[in-house]
Structure 1
């Protein structure tokens, strides 16, 4: 009996050693991610700081921003994000250069994707690092996969992908102020002569029109040729075939703010519309939130 027990005990010890050995060889995703990020930091000679709560991310303040005080949780912030793979440099999604994400700093703890195939996820690191910036500041965050899209990935983001995240804030805290600055920068860059309407829409008239059909009102039925662009020149809508019919009441507010009383049938004008008089602060009809819009407009005919 003792002999059998000894053999059993030896077998048990052997299994324990075997399982212990397997367990020792297994690495958690936390340790795998940490090693990859630390190797990347060393290989690229980066100066980064581990987060004080030791959750696993590293960050670098690229531009401190302007002013005397850092952002507070209750401050409004206008910002852009770029999300790319840490090792491969693949950009998985980014805020369009002609738009931005706007909210309170306290609500920036989410990675809100502009790509419908990629999930929006909770990333408190964005808020934590933003609190170390002043308006206009920017930071880089090296985010381990377990704090990002995890083992399942999302859309084009692969499983267990460590993320290199760039956060850039604008100096302005109010969208109307930012829009006006962007419009004026655009006008100056392109040597344009434009008038600012009290509505905050900028316009220039190349042809006032013939007046056939009468004065344009919000309820006039108009046949319109137009081309809509972002400030980077990208065309997002166009119809120049004389087939688009609408009333101004059915279009974005910026059109109705400047067309009546300024041009008539046959008239042509160019208008630069602040985002709140365009498609607003959220994605709408494929237009990213907080986008300033540039339209060339021709009124083909007017019916009252």
Structure 2
């Protein structure tokens, strides 16, 4: 009997000791706060503000800095917005900094369904608030991807998976005027790549968006030879501005196509500026491309670049 009582008391003491140790462990809010405080100190982010929005038993725990204020009506969850963003994890094992690839067009209330963090959705609604605005944002892990993380593969692989309990460092820009933004992207792209000789087609003064083009080989056909229903034989390639090639007939053999079936920017450029023998480079803003609808390998609201060599026109 004494042995049983002693054993029971020993188990009770061990259990109480275990509970005491667990009680001394930080909860997820405290853990995130410690990680964010350390990250802010390590990276000299002294001008960040704490989000004071109430969230359950406290505030969200997010920190932010408005880089560019926006204007207009405050954003509602029912508003469709166009986003450009970058992100990285605090541990540095996941970095996604390509703003050409990180485009999204979605209703603000649907961002989480599109696999973006809950914290980003809240911050756009509560803190950024306007189209045309941008900010840098630190999202605690509980408002990011939580204990399960995100992505596939081992957590030891760089850029394949966000580990569990990782807080995120986001840059996000909510585009106000898509056409103006695309035009600026094109100009910056041409400057960064030392592209000269491109002209902006402004033949339609009422158009809100304009493509840029450069004829590198004039061709020998008759001007106006190509119309929207012509059949042209061509070698061509289409790419994002980060160099990713999403379509490339030039790598195989020439193909035949009809301008009527092409995106508006390419159709207009070919019918206005190409003939038999022409080689032409075209940079197409998103409004004359696929617009806010993402395609396979082409994000929403993407600016596109095409190279065409026309070998035959029927």
TM-score of the pair, normalised by structure 2: 0.74
Verify: 1:252 aligned to 2:249, yes or no: no
What do residues 215-259 of structure 1 show as CA deviations (whole Å, max 9, x unaligned)?
A: 323333221122334335555443436522222233333222232
CA distance in 2, matches of 1:297, 1:40: 49
In the other structure, the counterpart of 1:192 is: 197
Unmatched tracts of structure 1, length 5 or more: 113-119
What do residues 14-66 of structure 1 show as CA deviations (whole Å, max 9, x unaligned)?
A: 33322121122234661444433333334445434155323653212151425
Pairs aligned (count):
285
CA RMSD of superposed structures (Å): 3.4
CA distance in 1, matches of 2:172, 2:271: 39
Indicate how the Cα distance of structure 1 residues 178 and 158 shifts in structure 2: closer, same or farther if over 3 A, else same.
closer
Of 174, 177, 188, the residue aligned with 2:177 is: 174
Shift of 1:207: 4.3
CA distance in 1, matches of 2:11, 2:171: 51
Unmatched tracts of structure 2, length 5 or more: 153-159
Structure 1 window deviating more from structure 2 (39-48 vs 223-232): it is 39-48
TM-score of the pair, normalised by structure 1: 0.76
Of 82, 85, 93, the residue aligned with 1:78 is: 82
CA distance in 2, matches of 1:51, 1:81: 23
Which runs of structure 2 are paired with 1:114-193 in the superposition (5 Å)? Answer: 120-121=115-116, 123-130=117-124, 131-133=126-128, 134=130, 135-144=132-141, 146-154=142-150, 155=152, 156-170=160-174, 172-186=175-189, 190-193=195-198
CA distance in 1, matches of 2:269, 2:42: 56
Of 275, 279, 283, the residue aligned with 1:272 is: 283
Verify: 1:63 aligned to 2:67, yes or no: yes
CA distance in 1, matches of 2:189, 2:39: 39
CA distance in 2, matches of 1:99, 1:15: 55
Bigger Rg, which one: 1
